[in-house]
Amino acid sequence: MVETQKKVEELKKVYLSWSLHDSDVRREGRKEGIAIGEERAKLDDARNMILKNVGTIEQIAEITGLPLEKIRELAEE
């Protein structure tokens, strides 16, 4: 009986550590997903601004926060 309780307690600790790790992984995945979404939105905004001739390439880079070189690449597409 005592041996079984010890085993159960060990398994609980293992499960808890896995649960915490899994939670950390999901949290990091969410952060990464949000960052990717934000980057895509900036690229979409920049493309739309370029297509509609809204400002200069430098202004678009400043507004979107994207690097000037990336805006130039988008303008060439």
Please count the structural domains in the chain.
1
Residue at 76 is within a domain: yes
Per the structure, the complete domain to which residue 51 belongs is given by 24-77
d(CA 35, CA 52): 26
> pTM for this one?
0.68
What is the pLDDT at residue 16? 66
12 inside domain: no
Which two structure tokens, joined as six digits, stand for 67? 């690097």
- Within a domain: 63: yes
- Could you report the per-residue pLDDT of 48-72, keeping only the tens digit for each? 999 999 999 999 999 999 999 999 9
Residue 59 lies in a domain: yes
